[in-house]
Amino acid sequence: MSNAGQFIFLIMQKKVLDLIGNTPLVKLSGFDTGLCNLYLKLEDRNPGGSIKDRIALSMITAAENQGLIKTGSLLVEATAGNTGLGLALVAMARGHKLLLVIPDKMSREKIIHLKAMGTKVIMTRSDVNKGHPEYYQDMAERIAGETKNSWYVNQFGNPANPLAHETTTGPEIFRQLDGKVDAIVCGIGSSGTITGLTRYFLKMKPDIEMVIADPAGSVIKDFVTTGSFGEAGSWKVEGIGEDFIPPIADFSLVKAAYTITDQESFTMARKLLKKEGILAGSSTGTLLTAAIKYCLEQTMPKNVVTFVCDTGNKYLTRMYDDSWMIENGFKTE
């Protein structure tokens, strides 16, 4: 067999879970980023369509290795959708069942996708906070506690969540930029991304600046800038922003934080599609808006990285739909 034939054979032998990670990094050219170079890590290229594939594989593998689950176990999780899609992908490949509790503000595309994969989905209220019986995390934990042969994944407190980013995402970014990375812009959901990256770069480049992009209404920005926070508001961007501080959160390298409105996020995501041809999800609009603000404030050249957290295919009936934008007050023309 020729070398080319061997290469093709090796590609054909890969399984879908082997395709998680090693996502491309692209430099933006259609936006004013001042003195900085701004790069997007295309996490939408993971097989489940989001960065959450990484943590799903890490958390399920860790639970299997620790004997917490075995073939046929029921996995229960609270999710905005993308962690659920990642868990569905890995659970299907590993022979597990999956039940997800999802707030009712999440996109129809995510729900349809999950149900098509055979996942049981329970919808709950998105207008209640932690401590309320219908709050999605509390409900998922309660269901797991009441169900035999089940395991509560708990991405918000699971150490295998940040471990995924410490061992894969961080090293990939460092390698792709030959170590010449000065700042990384993250959103905060479970906080696994920023915590894992912080742990990796504390060892490899401790002078790196972590930057937070937070939806207006979330409590994260207030906490990292003042050390306290009040009651959370509401926002329509999916997957990032919180009404509490996740137990696994490590903000020790955070040097800046920006509050970004839904309007800014949706408008920026649509600009990204028109200017760069990248169809990204709503949280990417939040991250990119904050990243550009950060870049324009710099007085020295820097290499800045942020993420296409998931594919915009999950939001076609929302922020990419003019009618939805008009109905929700985000588009007037």
Q: Choose among 308, 278, 288, 312: nearest CA to 36.
A: 288
User: Containing domain of residue 37, as a range?
Assistant: 3-46+159-327
**CB-hemisphere CA count at 13 Å for 24?**
6
User: In a structure prediction context, what are the per-residue pLDDT tens digits for the chain, which is 333 residues long?
Assistant: 555 555 555 555 579 999 999 999 999 999 999 999 999 999 999 999 999 999 999 999 999 999 999 999 999 999 988 999 999 999 999 999 999 999 998 888 999 999 999 999 999 998 888 889 899 999 999 999 999 999 999 999 999 999 999 999 999 999 999 999 999 999 999 999 999 999 999 999 999 999 999 999 999 999 999 999 999 999 999 999 999 999 999 999 999 999 999 999 999 999 999 999 999 999 999 999 999 999 999 999 999 999 999 999 999 999 999 999 999 999 755
pLDDT in tens, 49-58: 999 999 999 9
Written as one letter, the residue type at 8 is I
Q: Is residue 333 part of a domain?
A: no
Number of structural domains in the chain = 2
Is 105 catalytic? The answer is no
CA 280 to chain centre: 12
pLDDT at position 11, please?
A: 54
Q: Is residue 67 part of a domain?
A: yes
Say yes or no: 96 and 180 in one domain.
Answer: no
pLDDT at position 8, please?
A: 54
Out of 152, 176, 210, pick the residue that ends a domain. 152
Q: Choose among 55, 54, 158, 146: nearest CA to 99.
A: 146
Q: Choose among 114, 102, 195, 212: nearest CA to 156.
A: 195
pLDDT at position 80, please?
A: 83
| Euclidean distance between CA atoms 81 and 86, whole angstroms | 9
CA 204 to chain centre: 23
Residue 3 is given by DSSP the state H
For tokens 């990119």, the residue is 288
Choice among 41, 52, 110, 221 that is catalytic: 52
Q: CATH no. for residue 168?
A: 3.40.50.1100
Q: Choose among 309, 199, 195, 186: nearest CA to 247.
A: 195
Out of 152, 168, 202, pick the residue that ends a domain. 152
| Euclidean distance between CA atoms 239 and 242, whole angstroms | 9
pLDDT at position 198, please?
A: 98
